[in-house]
């Protein structure tokens, strides 16, 4: 190599070294999932209602679309949109929500308030095969907004199987909105589904030796998780998140959990409702009634997120945490 070639090589290496941080950090503005403004970036502008959907959409979108997440500290049961949220919606092309009685009413209201009549609100859960939907455990006598309708459990994202189905629906919507980048959406969706399959295997493996798989869930949210991971949800602590069980409901739970042939010793709590005392109250009752080793386990239904934590792999990380915690407590 003569000095001219060396010089060229130095220039080339220098250019690459300079380009790497630009490639990694250059698009930071476009990838901050929670900022309330749209970056100057080509491709579809996509809003999702809450964090798991962000992960599903952003993994399919890659650099071909921009994805923004709405809900952070308050999840779909409690969320009230702000003016900034409605402003974000006013410039969006697609709004992915779960539907199934969970978040679509607020989405439609926001769409109305934004004046963005071109916005396509996609209720992902409604596009699932009806055979893939599970009944929830609690039936409500009356429906308020934010409650589940038709007795269907809307928490489809808590199974990697269903997550993969949602990813395919997102893929098809993005392909339709942006056909020029169809191949990219295809390949990224396939790559992400490989990760979701790995997540499924991880959980099945972690839980495979558990003999006693019975639990009480905190709110009625685990039908899909239960199906995939073969745990058995025997009861639900709170009818609606944030509403503590009354004396009659508590009595019923104690009866279920002290069943002689099939006692329940693992009771789920949720980080979103850490001030709830009903899980611990139930645990103490079970101790008093002779159930062996009753324990609380924190299970995060992934309805809220700390904004700074929301990355493309957040869903997988949080699901693994849930599985690990459950594996620690089940016997
Ligand atoms: Zn929920």
| Domain ranges within the chain, ordered by starting residue | 30-203, 209-329
Angle at 172 between CA 57 and CA 164, to 5 degrees: 55
Distance 180 CA to ligand 1 centre (A): 37
Burial 143-172 (b: 16+ CB within 10 A, else e): eeebbbeeebbbbbbbbbebbbbbbbbbbb
Predicted pLDDT of residue 92:
98
Please choose, from the candidates 130, 63, 58, 128, the residue with its C-alpha nearest in 3D space to the C-alpha of residue 94. 58
- Give 278: exposed, middle or buried? Use CB within 10 Å, 0-12, 13-18, 19+: buried
Q: What's the CA gap between 171 and 114, in Å, rounded?
A: 25
Cβ neighbour number for residue 124 with a 10 Å cutoff: 27
C-alpha separations of 14 from 7, 10, 19, 55, 296 in Å: 10, 6, 9, 34, 55
User: Cα of 77 to ligand 1 centre, how many Å?
Assistant: 6
- Please give the distance, rounded to the nearest whole angstrom, from the Cα atom of residue 71 to the centre of ligand 1: 13
For the sheet with 120-123, list strands across it: 66-69, 45-48, 94-97, 120-123
% of the chain beyond a pLDDT of 70: 87
Whole-number percent of the chain with pLDDT over 90: 82
Ligand 1 centroid distance, CA of 94 (Å): 23
Q: Which residue reads 């980048």 in tokens?
A: 181
Least confident range from 131-145, 272-286, 287-301: namely: 131-145
| Residue 291: Cβ within 10 Å count | 17
Q: What pLDDT is stored for residue 136 in this prediction? A: 86
| pLDDT score for 69 | 97
- Please say whether the dihedral angle defined by the alpha carbons of residues 222, 224, 228 and 234, taken in this order, is positive or negative: positive
Superfamily of domain 30-203: Nitrogenase molybdenum iron protein domain (3.40.50.1980)
d(CA 45, CA 67): 6
Over range 76-85, report the average pLDDT: 93
Going from the Cα of 303 to the center of ligand 1, the distance in angstroms, rounded, reads 7
Instruction: Answer yes or no: same fold for 30-203 and 209-329.
Output: yes
Q: How far is the CA of 236 from the centre of ligand 1 (A)?
A: 12
Report the SS3 class of residue 69: strand
Domain covering 209-329, topology: Rossmann fold (3.40.50)
Q: Which residues contact 213 (CB under 8 A, 6 or more apart)?
A: 207, 230, 231, 232, 330
* Mean pLDDT estimate for the chain: 90
Please tell me the predicted confidence (pLDDT) of residue 77: 92
Among residues 196, 154, 222, 175, the alpha carbon closest in space to that of 56 is found at 196
- The DSSP output letter for 148 is P
Question: How far is ligand 1, taken at its centre, from the CA of residue 32, in Å?
Answer: 25
267 or 141, which is more confident?
Answer: 267
Structural tokens at position 198:
């790995």
- Please give the distance, rounded to the nearest whole angstrom, from the Cα atom of residue 266 to the centre of ligand 1: 19
pLDDT at residue 138, rounded to an integer? 53
Tokens for 284?
Answer: 């103490």
Q: What is the pLDDT of residue 151?
A: 87
Look at residues 34, 32, 26, 39 and name the one whose alpha carbon lies nearest to residue 50: 34
Which three-class secondary structure state does DSSP give residue 152? Answer: strand
Ligand 1 (ion): which residues have CB within 5 A?
221
Give the Cα separation of 87 and 94 in Å (integer).
Answer: 14
State residue 4's pLDDT score: 52
**Distance (Å, rounded) from C-alpha 170 to C-alpha 35?**
22
Ligand 1 centroid – CA 177 distance (Å): 30
How much is the average pLDDT of 236-240?
90
Confidence band, pLDDT 50/70/90 cuts, at residue 94: very high
Structural contact between residues 45 and 116, judged by C-beta atoms closer than 8 angstroms: no
Distance 299 CA to ligand 1 centre (A): 12
DSSP letter for 157, please. Answer: G
Q: Look at residue 22 in the predicted model and tell me its pLDDT.
A: 44
> Band of the pLDDT at 24, cuts 50, 70, 90?
very low
Looking at residue 241, its pLDDT comes to 82
From the CA of 268, how far away is ligand 1's center (Å)?
13
């Amino acid at each position: 190599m003569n000095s001219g070639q060396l010089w060229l090589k130095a220039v080339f290496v220098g250019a690459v070294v300079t380009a790497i941080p630009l490639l990694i950090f250059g698009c930071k503005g476009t990838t901050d999932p929670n900022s309330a403004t749209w970056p100057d970036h080509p491709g579809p502008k996509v809003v999702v209602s809450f964090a798991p959907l962000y992960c599903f959409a952003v993994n399919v979108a890659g650099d071909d679309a921009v994805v923004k997440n709405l809900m952070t500290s308050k999840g779909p049961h409690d969320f009230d949109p702000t003016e900034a949220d409605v402003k974000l919606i006013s410039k969006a092309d697609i709004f992915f929500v779960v539907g199934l009685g969970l978040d679509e009413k607020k989405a439609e209201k926001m769409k109305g308030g934004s004046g963005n009549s071109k916005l396509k609100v996609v209720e992902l859960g409604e596009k699932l095969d009806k055979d893939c939907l599970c009944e929830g455990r609690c039936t409500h006598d009356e429906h308020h907004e934010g409650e589940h309708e038709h007795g269907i459990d809307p928490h489809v994202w808590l199974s990697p199987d269903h997550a993969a189905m949602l990813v395919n629906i997102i893929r098809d919507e993005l392909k339709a909105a942006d056909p020029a980048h169809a191949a990219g959406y295809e390949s990224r969706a396939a790559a992400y589904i490989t990760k979701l399959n790995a997540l499924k295997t991880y959980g099945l493996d972690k839980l495979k030796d558990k003999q006693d798989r019975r639990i009480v869930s905190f709110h009625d949210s685990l039908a899909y998780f239960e199906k995939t991971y073969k745990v058995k949800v025997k009861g639900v602590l709170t009818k609606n998140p944030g509403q503590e069980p009354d004396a009659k409901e508590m009595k019923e739970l104690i009866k279920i959990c002290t069943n002689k042939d099939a006692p329940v010793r693992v009771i789920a709590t949720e980080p979103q409702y850490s001030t709830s005392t009903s899980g611990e109250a139930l645990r103490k009752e079970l101790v008093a009634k002779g159930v062996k080793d009753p324990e609380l386990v924190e299970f995060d239904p992934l309805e809220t997120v700390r904004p700074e934590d929301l990355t493309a792999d957040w869903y997988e990380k949080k699901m693994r945490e849930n599985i690990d915690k459950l594996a620690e407590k089940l016997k």
